[in-house]
Amino acid sequence: MSSEQYFDDDPTVASDPVVVDVTLPDTAFTMETDRGVFSHGHLDTATSMLLRAPLPLATSGDLLDLGCGAGPIALTMARRSPDATVWAVDVNRRARDLCRRNAERNALGNIRVVHPDEAPADVRFATIWSNPPIRIGKQALHALLLTWLGRLAPDGTAALVVQKHLGADSLQRWLTDNGHPCERLASKAGFRLLGVSPHAQSDDPEQAQR
Ligand SMILES: C[S@@+](CC[C@H](N)C(=O)[O-])C[C@H]1O[C@@H](n2cnc3c(N)ncnc32)[C@H](O)[C@@H]1O
């Protein structure tokens, strides 16, 4: 059995591309998936729950798909908000290549696929959506979320979808305790959809003036 994980930087497992149809109430597209990248051959159930939820989504500015994988979240954001710029970040090179190809496949010119270190530091996100990489471990996950949620615009919103048995409820408490008010927006089939607000004591000068 392979010891590779979907969040490896550079998967070496043999490629096996599979095209998947993604059909949502308001849009539909196809995307290529591959081995070595999360949810090979299907749209993940948690991701589907997030994409079907009536979540706020900014129509302009910068949006973030944190941990884009093959890109189902980034592609949906880009379709729903054609005037916005969608940043799709992932540590996994194969995921980034797939997401880039999937943006091209769907003629979506408003997606920027980058390694996390390549996202410009001054960009603030109006919306962050993520099916986050829970399996990287609690400490790494907490650090990752604080880094990116810290870049929410003062009036921005974030949504995370997390399995209950992988600690969704404790993550909700932890985020709230760490300055990011976090509420349960929906609960279905063992998954929680969490809504997260910007840090209450943001160092953003515009917010400080409010
Ligand atoms: C649960 S998967 C979700 C993938 C995709 N958004 C979807 O819904 O199908 C989480 C993704 O986060 C990526 N990831 C892991 N660590 C990361 C990090 N430090 N920064 C950015 N992405 C990371 C993984 O490579 C993986 O593609």
Low-confidence ranges of the chain (pLDDT < 70): 1-3, 201-210
pLDDT digits (tens, 9 = 90+) for 61-92: 999 999 999 999 999 999 999 999 999 999 99
Residues 6+ apart with CB under 8 A from 69: 6, 37, 38, 39, 90, 92, 95, 98, 99, 131
Indicate if ligand 1 lies below 6 Å from the C-beta of 131.
yes
Residues 191, 10, 100, 143, CA torsion sign? positive
Nearest CA to ligand 1 atom 6: 68
Nearest CA to ligand 1 atom 1: 133
190: three-class secondary structure by DSSP: coil
Indicate if ligand 1 lies below 6 Å from the C-beta of 72.
yes
Beta bridge partners of 162: 192
Indicate if ligand 1 lies below 6 Å from the C-beta of 144.
yes
Question: What pLDDT does 19 receive?
Answer: 98
Q: What is the DSSP string of 126-181?
A: EEEEE---GGG-HHHHHHHHHHHHTTEEEEEEEEEEEEGGGTHHHHHHHHHHTT--
The total of other beta-carbon atoms located within 10 Å of residue 96's CB is 22
pLDDT digits (tens, 9 = 90+) for 128-142: 999 999 999 999 999
Indicate if ligand 1 lies below 6 Å from the C-beta of 116.
yes
Question: What pLDDT does 3 receive?
Answer: 66
Is 196 in contact with 180 (CB distance < 8 Å)?
yes
Question: What pLDDT does 5 receive?
Answer: 80
> Token pair of 201, please?
């004591």
Is 133 in contact with 143 (CB distance < 8 Å)?
no
111: three-class secondary structure by DSSP: strand
Residue 164's identity, in one-letter code, is: K
